[in-house]
Chains A and B, each alone.
Chain A
Amino acid sequence: MDLDKLLETGDRCIFKEPPTCAANCPVHLEIIEFISEIEKGDFQKAYKLMEKKIPFHRIIGQICDHPCESFCVRSEAGGAISISELEKAVLEYGAAKPKKVWPVPKKKGKVAVIGAGLSGLTVAVDLDKKGYEIVLYEKTDRLGGRLWDHIGESLKEDNLSEELKLVKDKGISIQFNQELNKNRLTDLLSEYDAVYLGSGGWDEQLEFDPKTFQVGELNLFVGGGIVTRNDSVIFSASSGRRAALSIERYLSKVSLTDSREREGIFETPLKQDVSETEVIIKVEKQSSIYSKEEAIQEAKRCIKCQCRKCMDGCNHLRKFDMSPYAYVRQINHSERIILGTHYANKMINSCTECGLCKEECFLDISMKDVIQDTRESMVERNKMPVSAHDFALKDMAFSNSSRFSLVRKQPSKEQSKDLFYYPLISFSDYVKGLYHGTGKTEYLFYPGCQLPASYPDDVKSIYEYLVGHVKGDVGIYLGCCGAPADWAGRQDLMGENIEAIKKVWEEMERPTFILACSSCIRVFEKYLPEIKVQSLWDIYAEKGLPNKDQIKIPQTLSIHDACGTRENSDLHESVRKIVSKLGYNIEELKYSRERTKCCGYGGLVYYANREQSDGFVAERIQESPHDILVYCTMCKDLFVSGGKRTFHLIDLIYPKDNEDGAVKKMPTLSERHQNRSQVKRSLLKEVWNEDVDEPAQDDYQLVIPESVRQNMEDRYILMEDIQAVVKNAQESRKRFFNPESGDYLASLKREHVTFWVQYAQDDDKVLIRNVYSHRMEIVEE
């Protein structure tokens, strides 16, 4: 895995970028933190933030020209936050005495500061604190320069005098009534290690570096009006602070330019979407200054700008409290561990790889791709936890074994007379359709593995419909597309699977695949772009529905689009067309079509972290008061398990009498296997008239209470596992016995898992009390 590329992706995330207000504050007051403290009523802490960032905060806090406010995104939703008024309130309610600072020995060098206005005073105080000997040259007989012009309602004369006195108290040497000219400046430059020139009255033209404020290569630095060319106090203070830093670096003989990209104001990459933000009108102060309560209310209006669009849409990112920025760092760390615990494994296996994050991100950061690369890397490095995807991969192997897998061409006209040659009867409208085969397989119906598992009785009806409605022969191909291997990062298995599918495709003379499953569509697009595919739902939308009068009670449905179809807008349209044709109203979900969410099955999260999967289900099903309509089998099964009435399109297109399709329960893991095998057998028997072996009879008649069935599901234990354990125990008597209860307890290792079954015998029945498993092995001596 290319970790540099990974980190680059993470660094593009703007989660940690500053808001526009702070980026446009020349001294970068941490405005969100500042406002958050006010919101909590902690004016003292808010005051400390001002003290930390704003030079002469008691003065500037009263007179700042607040460029921040004009960039506040709240302005579009009720008016900009009154940051300057909040600062005044904080000075009133949160002020603390300045900390007593012990003077630092002045050993680092001598600096002359020309002009005792705001910028010069800032330089003097900043450098004095750092241990430089400062001499202030002022042409008038008092400190403060233009600050005195601001005396008024906010800044009182007494306060200004008091603040300026603090400068004198520091022991900084001040020379008043000093008229400076070019010659005098030349003298000072040789007399002092560095000179700062902040006097607005300086007429000479000076060429200075716009980043460091250094004049040429000289030991002369400028600031104040010379740099800002405006009357802004905050820009003036900022220029002084920046010049002081340059002087310090200059005298310490280190780079003047390193890591200074974001000094002064800058453009933040953060973009805040306020289109859905509730409008709240600015709090007006009732007297000359906000009351505490008014300040708190005003602070509450702050949006606390931060890009969380991907997190807002994703239960997984929120559950682990991860921005892509932080997530990538965790992955980077995990990838670099040589000895130690990979704590991020579970998180990495809890992403559904649904792709909504990328859709929501205006920078197109795709955690789906990051996670996929990471899982593949984990597999390559042999660091993928085996148990995470083991069951899903075994399930895939089952589907591609002879127990389900099947490839057949459409039966000939003679063979299939009863099946497809059907007279047109107006009320049935091509239930099966006319035979118009050609002998060449134009289409191959590939229902996937989950549709036959959940809807075993409908596969044949769908096949008959297709044969009757599309031009050319329709063959059938049962199997698994390989989505589990893809999600598990198993490129080895994926490659084999793709080759197998390609081989069938070639042998069938390159037919178009008709796909019913959105995961298959995704896999075919990703790995088999040469194969032309068509969605089953597009065909229903185009050719018409097989039955009329399906709807019994008109109702409104919310459509949950399958995440695998995110980019397939034609398919979204087809589904809506079908639903409307069936007579239902549609109420769209907020997250739908290209912005749809995952049900919780994607990425094999259902197997790797059931709690996370449940989180997705719970969140999604409460997004609509209506019944949900889905067209992916796993979405249906998960939502129904979560207690939500959910229809699959198949429930509506092929409704069953006496059955409420919306509550049809998910088949168990064992039933999914049985159903798939059943589909294969019944197709072979009923469509191809082939002899099929009936499944071998179970060895034992098991009686399994509901609680144990639930354990089987949660612990991924199949009926066949239990049968095997019981058979082995009964035949070998290798088991434990509990004389008190009469129960037996037996185990058997099957592949990598040891299954335990506690059971009792009741004549010819075996009563199952409990089942569990572990992967750790006992070493036989």
Chain B
Amino acid sequence: MYQEKEDYQSWICDKCQKELELTKVKVHYLEGEFEVELLNCPTCHQVFINESLALGKMAEVEQGLEDK
């Protein structure tokens, strides 16, 4: 899973007013756990997931894990 730059470049964390950074984040679903580079706030670490990621790669991985 990865995020295209243009997908996120204009978003900032509203609470911390910080620009988002790409760092490794742990995600899990069912029996699967991975580390992926996702955009998040450097201060509060809330993770940004846009539509194309949620409905694209993420959905694909979810489907794959559900069929395991």
Binding site for B on A (CB under 8 A): 340-343, 345-346, 385-388, 732-741, 744-745, 747, 754, 756, 770, 772-781
Binding site for A on B (CB under 8 A): 10-15, 20, 25-30, 33, 38, 44-51, 54-55, 58-59, 61-64, 66-68
Residues of B within 8 A of A732 (CB): 15
Which of A385, A745, A776 counts the most B-chain CB atoms under 10 A from its CB?
A: A776
Expressed in whole angstroms, the minimum distance between the Cβ of B55 and any Cβ of chain A is 6
Expressed in whole angstroms, the minimum distance between the Cβ of B19 and any Cβ of chain A is 11
Residues of B within 8 A of A781 (CB): 26, 45
Is A738 in contact with B11, judged by CB distance below 8 angstroms?
yes
A385-B66, A740-B10, A745-B50 known; 10 new pairs, CB 8 Å cut-off, are A341-B64, A341-B68, A734-B46, A736-B11, A738-B10, A756-B49, A774-B49, A774-B54, A778-B26, A778-B47
Is B68 in contact with A775, judged by CB distance below 8 angstroms?
no
Is B15 in contact with A775, judged by CB distance below 8 angstroms?
no
Given A734-B46, A774-B58, the answer on whether A386 and B66 have CB atoms closer than 8 Å is yes
Is A735 in contact with B15, judged by CB distance below 8 angstroms?
yes
Is B29 in contact with A776, judged by CB distance below 8 angstroms?
yes
User: Could you pull out 16 A-B pairs where Cβ atoms are within 8 angstroms?
Assistant: A340-B68, A342-B68, A345-B66, A345-B67, A387-B62, A735-B14, A736-B12, A736-B14, A737-B13, A737-B14, A756-B54, A774-B54, A775-B62, A776-B28, A776-B29, A781-B26
Measured CA separation A551–B33 after assembly (Å) = 62
Measured CA separation A732–B51 after assembly (Å) = 22
Measured CA separation A732–B13 after assembly (Å) = 12
Is A739 in contact with B12, judged by CB distance below 8 angstroms?
yes
Residues of B within 8 A of A737 (CB): 11-14
Measured CA separation A776–B11 after assembly (Å) = 22
Which of A732, A741, A774 counts the most B-chain CB atoms under 10 A from its CB?
A: A774
> In chain A, what residue has the closest Cβ to B39?
A736
> In chain A, what residue has the closest Cβ to B12?
A737
Measured CA separation A385–B67 after assembly (Å) = 6
Residues of B within 8 A of A772 (CB): 51, 54-55
Residues of B within 8 A of A387 (CB): 62-63, 66
Measured CA separation A591–B44 after assembly (Å) = 61
Expressed in whole angstroms, the minimum distance between the Cβ of B26 and any Cβ of chain A is 4
Which of A733, A738, A756 interacts with B15 by CB under 8 Å?
A733
Residues of B within 8 A of A343 (CB): 67
State the main secondary structure of chain B at its contact with A: mixed
Measured CA separation A737–B13 after assembly (Å) = 6
Expressed in whole angstroms, the minimum distance between the Cβ of A737 and any Cβ of chain B is 4
Is B54 in contact with A385, judged by CB distance below 8 angstroms?
no
> In chain B, what residue has the closest Cβ to A339?
B68
Which of B12, B15, B66 counts the most A-chain CB atoms under 10 A from its CB?
A: B66
Measured CA separation A737–B18 after assembly (Å) = 10
Is B28 in contact with A777, judged by CB distance below 8 angstroms?
yes
> In chain A, what residue has the closest Cβ to B14?
A737
Given A734-B44, A774-B54, the answer on whether A779 and B28 have CB atoms closer than 8 Å is yes
Which of B29, B51, B63 interacts with A777 by CB under 8 Å?
B29
> In chain B, what residue has the closest Cβ to A770?
B51
Residues of A within 8 A of B14 (CB): 733-737, 744
Expressed in whole angstroms, the minimum distance between the Cβ of A102 and any Cβ of chain B is 51
Residues of B within 8 A of A341 (CB): 64, 67-68
Residues of A within 8 A of B64 (CB): 341
Residues of A within 8 A of B30 (CB): 386
The 4 closest A-B pairs by CB, nearest first: A385-B66, A779-B26, A737-B14, A774-B54
Residues of A within 8 A of B27 (CB): 776-779
Residues of A within 8 A of B10 (CB): 738-741
Residues of A within 8 A of B54 (CB): 756, 772-774
Which of A386, A738, A774, A779 interacts with B33 by CB under 8 Å?
A779
Residues of A within 8 A of B59 (CB): 774
Residues of B within 8 A of A740 (CB): 10
Expressed in whole angstroms, the minimum distance between the Cβ of A437 and any Cβ of chain B is 52
Measured CA separation A736–B51 after assembly (Å) = 14
Which of B11, B47, B63 counts the most A-chain CB atoms under 10 A from its CB?
A: B11
Residues of A within 8 A of B51 (CB): 756, 770, 772
Expressed in whole angstroms, the minimum distance between the Cβ of B51 and any Cβ of chain A is 5
Measured CA separation A781–B25 after assembly (Å) = 9
Expressed in whole angstroms, the minimum distance between the Cβ of B28 and any Cβ of chain A is 6
Residues of A within 8 A of B47 (CB): 778
Measured CA separation A747–B49 after assembly (Å) = 9
Residues of B within 8 A of A736 (CB): 11-14, 20, 46, 48
> In chain B, what residue has the closest Cβ to A385?
B66
Measured CA separation A148–B67 after assembly (Å) = 67
Residues of A within 8 A of B58 (CB): 774, 776
Expressed in whole angstroms, the minimum distance between the Cβ of A781 and any Cβ of chain B is 7
Expressed in whole angstroms, the minimum distance between the Cβ of B15 and any Cβ of chain A is 5
Expressed in whole angstroms, the minimum distance between the Cβ of B61 and any Cβ of chain A is 7
Residues of B within 8 A of A775 (CB): 29, 62
Residues of A within 8 A of B55 (CB): 772, 774
Expressed in whole angstroms, the minimum distance between the Cβ of A722 and any Cβ of chain B is 15
> In chain B, what residue has the closest Cβ to A778?
B47
Given A343-B67, A734-B15, the answer on whether A774 and B62 have CB atoms closer than 8 Å is yes
Is B25 in contact with A778, judged by CB distance below 8 angstroms?
yes
Is B11 in contact with A342, judged by CB distance below 8 angstroms?
no
Measured CA separation A744–B11 after assembly (Å) = 9
Measured CA separation A774–B15 after assembly (Å) = 23
Expressed in whole angstroms, the minimum distance between the Cβ of A144 and any Cβ of chain B is 64
> In chain A, what residue has the closest Cβ to B66?
A385
Expressed in whole angstroms, the minimum distance between the Cβ of B52 and any Cβ of chain A is 9
Given A734-B44, A781-B26, the answer on whether A776 and B61 have CB atoms closer than 8 Å is yes
Expressed in whole angstroms, the minimum distance between the Cβ of B43 and any Cβ of chain A is 12
Measured CA separation A735–B20 after assembly (Å) = 12
Which of A341, A775, A781 counts the most B-chain CB atoms under 10 A from its CB?
A: A775
Residues of A within 8 A of B38 (CB): 778
> In chain B, what residue has the closest Cβ to A744?
B14
Measured CA separation A734–B16 after assembly (Å) = 9
> In chain A, what residue has the closest Cβ to B20?
A736
Residues of B within 8 A of A747 (CB): 49
Measured CA separation A772–B66 after assembly (Å) = 19
Expressed in whole angstroms, the minimum distance between the Cβ of A612 and any Cβ of chain B is 15
Measured CA separation A735–B11 after assembly (Å) = 10
Expressed in whole angstroms, the minimum distance between the Cβ of A597 and any Cβ of chain B is 28
Expressed in whole angstroms, the minimum distance between the Cβ of B8 and any Cβ of chain A is 9
Residues of A within 8 A of B46 (CB): 734, 736
Expressed in whole angstroms, the minimum distance between the Cβ of B38 and any Cβ of chain A is 8
Measured CA separation A451–B30 after assembly (Å) = 36
Measured CA separation A740–B10 after assembly (Å) = 7
Measured CA separation A740–B28 after assembly (Å) = 32
Residues of A within 8 A of B26 (CB): 778-779, 781
Measured CA separation A163–B25 after assembly (Å) = 78
Expressed in whole angstroms, the minimum distance between the Cβ of A738 and any Cβ of chain B is 5
